[in-house]
Chain A
Amino acid sequence: GENVEQHPSTLSVQEGDSAVIKCTYSDSASNYFPWYKQELGKRPQLIIDIRSNVGEKKDQRIAVTLNKTAKHFSLHITETQPEDSAVYFCAARGDSTLTFGKGTMLLVS
């Protein structure tokens, strides 16, 4: 089955700086890569996703890049704000289910 590795596990940045979270996946057949944000005590919520026929996607301050050859994808947050503080999960769709990374706790101070 699919295996998703996510790094770093924690990330501390100053307000206004950029944050980058990286994930790798194992199943070359995976074709859908969403990112979820989970605030403390809340449910994971989709913030952006990318499909395998696209190399990059942007939505305001967040962007995701995908390198299918290397089997890795990344989340980029620019001009970070305190409300960006949360746990971020990457995921990859292997067969018909999502496999999640272990999460990155982002702290913006």
Chain B
Amino acid sequence: DAGVIQSPRHEVTEMGQEVTLRCKPISGHNSLFWYRQTMMRGLELLIYFNNNVPIDDSGMPEDRFSAKMPNASFSTLKIQPSEPRDSAVYFCASRTPGGSSGANVLTFGAGSRLTVL
């Protein structure tokens, strides 16, 4: 398995522009998580999905942030309009179904480094 795949790896954009980050979870994983990492705040959970359904989006900072998971193999995190304070590394992670020997093991993608000028 190629692991959790994220794109783009790096994105530089100007304030006000729309940003879309993409994630393909590991096949067979039924939970998907979006985290944001900054020096000041560490790893913050933004939103997570179980079986493609958003379960908890309380970590989404503002209405400018939205996430979708149209099917089991694809998710997007969108920021519109983007602001300089959104600059961070955004990680997608997926997890095995509960009850298996690997339950709760979270596997991260390589991350998308976003810079908003």
Interface residues of A (CB under 8 A from B): 32, 34, 42-46, 49, 89, 93, 96-103
Contacts and interface: CB of A to CB of B under 8 A. Distances in A.
Contacts of B104: 32, 34, 49, 93, 98
Given A97-B33, A97-B48, A45 B42 contact: no
Interface secondary structure of B, over-half rule: strand
Contacts, number: 40
Contact of B105 (A44, A49, A89, A100): A49
A44 B56 contact: no
A44 B108 contact: yes
Nearest to A42: B110
A46 B55 contact: no
Contacts of B110: 42-43
A42 B108 CA distance: 10
Name, among B31, B56, B106, B109, the residue most crowded by chain A CB atoms within 10 Å (CB to CB). Answer: B106
A100 B42 contact: yes
